[in-house]
Amino acid sequence: RDLVSPDAEGDEQAVESALRPKRLGEFIGQGRVREQLSLVLESALRRSRPPDHVLMSGSPGLGKTTLAMIIAAELGMPLRLTSGPALERAGDLAAILSTLSEGEVLFIDEIHRMARPAEEMLYLAMEDFRVDIVVGKGPGATAIPLEIAPFTLVGATTRAGLLPAPLRDRFGFVAHMDFYDVAELEQVLRRSARLLGLELPDEGAHEIARRSRGTPRIANRLLRRVRDFAEVRADGVITRDTASAALNLYEVDAEGLDRLDRAVLGALLRKFGGGPVGLSTLAVAVGEEPETVEVVAEPFLVRQGLIARTPRGRVATASAWTHLGMVPPPDAFG
């Protein structure tokens, strides 16, 4: 399922950094977030003070890392990158915090996966630019306060709801990133094609955009696969037919559903009569981790109006039955 996985893997990261917009003005879509952010940054620059901490929430591949880099670039400050899973002990975080320079931007990806002791250290650091280093163990342990340079934290999470409230409340600005619409993805694709030196007619861009699940990372990836196909099987020009033939070959269907999405939907319809069924039961039925189904497949299926979340579990909508060419049982919708 590599092709439409929203995570970047292996050498993809090198291609991605070449395609990343470097300044806010180049960043496509997310109009509201862009405007709010530009105000936050502008006013910080005028006051010559680091801006409030920024939390970005949204599905993988929507541009959170890119925006963090842009924030640092717009402030003219260096950026330090780390991630929640890398911060297993408070000491891992202390090592980073104590070496930050004034005004530096610290990006913590997957901040909801940080270990508890590191998280507690971060509260104090965010609020007072101070950490307490605990020396020794048991009754003789002492906390030595250590001042750290004022910095800006940029946190990214796939869902703001995953963060404990005390952490969430310490961010001055929360940016909710939405999926991109087809026109915005066409813009992303045209920009990438230009940077990669590819010829991309509008009809080709449109065909790729509508199968990209609202996600720039996936759009860029599909573009590269379609390019391969166009170069080998056609004359290099990405027409609508070439794009569509290439994507059919890679099992990305006309609505952007891939094999996992169709497996989840298929199981929901065939094995559970359209639901309601719990997420973990559904995950077992398709042989995946519940988290993969919840983070990767479900948000897109919900957004496409194919499944709905209810208090009793996941249910298929009428469109789901149509999409898979099936007829719902007579009692399916009450």
| Active centre residues (catalytic) | 64-65, 109, 158, 217
State the binding string over 43-82 for ligand ADP (x if CB under 6 A, else -).
-----------------xxxxxxx----------------
70 residue type, one letter? I
Maximum CA extent, the chain: 75
Q: Is 65 annotated as a binding residue?
A: yes
Out of 216, 256, 275, 299, which residue is the one contacting ligand ADP (CB under 6 A)?
216
Any contact of residue 217 with ligand ADP (CB under 6 A)?
yes
State the binding string over 283-302 for ligand ADP (x if CB under 6 A, else -).
--------------------
Any contact of residue 28 with ligand ADP (CB under 6 A)?
yes
Give the range of 23-31, 234-242, 299-307, 321-329 binding ligand ADP by CB under 6 A: 23-31
SS3 334: coil
Exposure string of 253-288, with b = 16+ CB inside 10 Å and e = fewer, is eeebbbbbbbbbbbbbbeebebbbbebeebbebbeb
Closest distance between ligand ADP and the C-beta of residue 283, in Å? 22
Closest distance between ligand ADP and the C-beta of residue 27, in Å? 5
Cα distance between residue 223 and residue 169, in whole Å: 39
In angstroms, how far is the first alpha carbon of the chain from the final one? 35
Out of 33, 122, 188, 208, which residue is the one contacting ligand ADP (CB under 6 A)?
188
The structure tokens listed for 274 are: 């359209």
Cα distance between residue 215 and residue 185, in whole Å: 8
Determine contact, residues 124/26, Cβ cutoff 8 Å.
no
Out of 4, 5, 27, 260, which residue is the one contacting ligand ADP (CB under 6 A)?
27
Q: Is 180 annotated as a binding residue?
A: yes
Which residue in 7, 44, 36 sits closest to 173, CA to CA?
36
Q: Is 7 annotated as a binding residue?
A: no
Annotated binding site for Mg(2+): 65
Q: By CB under 6 A, name the binding residues for ligand ADP.
A: 16, 19-21, 27-29, 60-66, 188, 216-217, 220
